[in-house]
Structure 1
Amino acid sequence: MTPVELSRTVLRAVRRAVDEGELSVAVPQRAVVAPPGPGGCGDYATSIALQLARPAGQPPRRVAEILQQHLARTDGVADVVVTGPGFINISLQGAAASAAALTREILREGTAYGHGDALAGEVVELRIPYDIRAEVVADALVRIVGSQGGRVEVGHREPVNLRPVPASDDPALLGPDAARWALLHPAAHDRPRITADHLVQRESNPLFRIRYAHARTRALSRNAADLGFTPEPGDMGDMEEGVSGLLSLLADHPRVLARAAAQRTPDSLARHLVTVADAALAVLPVVLPRGDEKPSAAHRARLALAEAAGAVLAGGLSLLGIDAPQHL
């Protein structure tokens, strides 16, 4: 079960609770599911009970317990636990099957994975000063908000409602991609560093790590083709901790995009891409067969995971207006 499918499952549980008279609420259009936070457990968690508590006129934990009963009877769900004030933690049956389903979903959607309709019909008005950083942030938000179904209108008029701290130096000296990264990676309240560090081809440069990880996924696909095999989502064999961590980050990508759009924070997307790249770089060495080893179903599944990670990295960079080269 993919995060999108699980989100629909949560909404169906709400609908059943409403139909059976256990809750009196309007069924929301979207249920956010994400890896559990501190104190959570299982594969995914949702805070929908906290969202529904006030309109339902019941404590969040009671709403969560009602939904828990419906979710526990769903095919593909192994366990449901309520923690804290009303967080619903969900464990899925068959980690390998869940990983394959997530990988298949990402490969199907490609660089558009994580795009949704959370802001459908919403028009965001950005009023910015005449400043290069404000221009670049607004341009990225046009793409990010658009990925969630919304639309951004940018204007230069008072009162300003988007004023990130300007850069001290001219970022154009870095070239277009490094300049955009230098302006977008820091939070809006932090002053960007315009230094040659953004140009070095080393691990110390976060943008280099993202682009290198993406280029490595493309190289693995080319090398696999030379060995005569193609990606196929499935059982990756022993699920090393690094693989599980990468899967969790990929599963969290739709939530990261939705949050970046809603909170107008392209920097949160940039930081997420760095984390995905670092997790991918730790996994990529085990994708291809080694020595005399023959390509197996596990290798095809790992190649599919690598391609999925590459799609997320390329899609995220595209939303920031930065190129993701095939070779590096």
Structure 2
Amino acid sequence: MPLVDESYGVADVAKGVYWADRPRTFDNPGFVVRFAYARAAWVVRAAGELGVENGPPEGYAGDELVLLRLLGEMPGWAAGEARGFVSFLERLGRAYHDVHERCPALPKGDEKPRAVHGARVALARAARIAIGNGLTMIGETPRERI
């Protein structure tokens, strides 16, 4: 079941803003947003399996700060008109992909979890909640697997 924070993002955004399901490439904005949600959900699941817990939001830089700024802007965009909010979700999805690719939340191989991993897991969890709420607000059901 998707994790959605019911108390966050209560907005009057028009329902039924649909993106195409195919092609499932980064050229399709709908895929970008849906896959960002699925990727963040995977990170949260895998972190739990590996015992990597949320850490304090410290040490963010570069792409992580861009994502953090966008997460902070979400309530303002959600209060606006639907087209602007959908465009915002696309930017949020792309920002999450940048973080996922360049700033791994999970240790690799035999690497031990460090504080940076906990901070990045917390950021992935926040992105999952925000993107999931955004998808719900435009009338889509967030999917953890694509």
TM-score using structure 2 length: 0.85
| Cα pair 2:33 2:89 within 8 Å, conserved | yes
Aligned-partner Cα distance in 1 for 2:22–2:17:
12
Q: How does 1:1-328 map to 2 (within 5 A)?
A: 110=5, 112-115=7-10, 144-145=11-12, 180-182=17-19, 198-235=21-58, 237=59, 239-258=60-79, 260=80, 265-285=81-101, 286-328=104-146
Q: Tell me, what secondary structure is at the counterpart of 2:5?
A: helix
Structure whose residues are more often strand by fraction: 1
The number of residues matched between the two structures is 141
Aligned-partner Cα distance in 1 for 2:17–2:70:
24
The one-character-per-residue Cα deviations of 1:110-158 (angstroms, maximum 9, x if unpaired) are 354344xxxxxxxxxxxxxxxxxxxxxxxxxxxx32x8xxxxxxxxxxx
Aligned-partner Cα distance in 1 for 2:25–2:106:
24
Shift in CA distance, 198/225, structure 1 to aligned 2, threshold 3 Å: closer
AA matched with 1:203:
F
Q: Tell me, what secondary structure is at the counterpart of 1:201?
A: coil
Consecutive unaligned residues in structure 2, runs of 5 or more:
none
Aligned-partner Cα distance in 2 for 1:271–1:218:
21
AA matched with 2:73:
D
Higher Rg of the two aligned structures: 1
| Cα pair 1:110 1:308 within 8 Å, conserved | no
Aligned-partner Cα distance in 2 for 1:180–1:271:
11
AA matched with 2:45:
R
Higher relative contact order (CA 8 A, sep 6+): 2
AA matched with 2:8:
Y
Q: How far has the Cα of 1:198 moved from its partner?
A: 4.7
AA matched with 1:234:
P
Deviation >3 Å, runs of 4+: none
| Cα pair 2:52 2:106 within 8 Å, conserved | no
The one-character-per-residue Cα deviations of 1:232-265 (angstroms, maximum 9, x if unpaired) are 3332x3x33101111110111111112x1xxxx2
Aligned-partner Cα distance in 2 for 1:111–1:272:
20
The one-character-per-residue Cα deviations of 1:174-220 (angstroms, maximum 9, x if unpaired) are xxxxx7414xxxxxxxxxxxxxx652111111001101010001111
Aligned-partner Cα distance in 2 for 1:198–1:222:
24
Shift in CA distance, 234/292, structure 1 to aligned 2, threshold 3 Å: same
Aligned-partner Cα distance in 2 for 1:112–1:205:
30
Consecutive unaligned residues in structure 1, runs of 5 or more:
1-106, 116-143, 148-178, 183-196
TM-score using structure 1 length: 0.40
Aligned-partner Cα distance in 1 for 2:49–2:17:
36
Q: Tell me, what secondary structure is at the counterpart of 1:110?
A: coil
AA matched with 2:34:
R
Aligned-partner Cα distance in 1 for 2:52–2:93:
24
AA matched with 2:25:
R
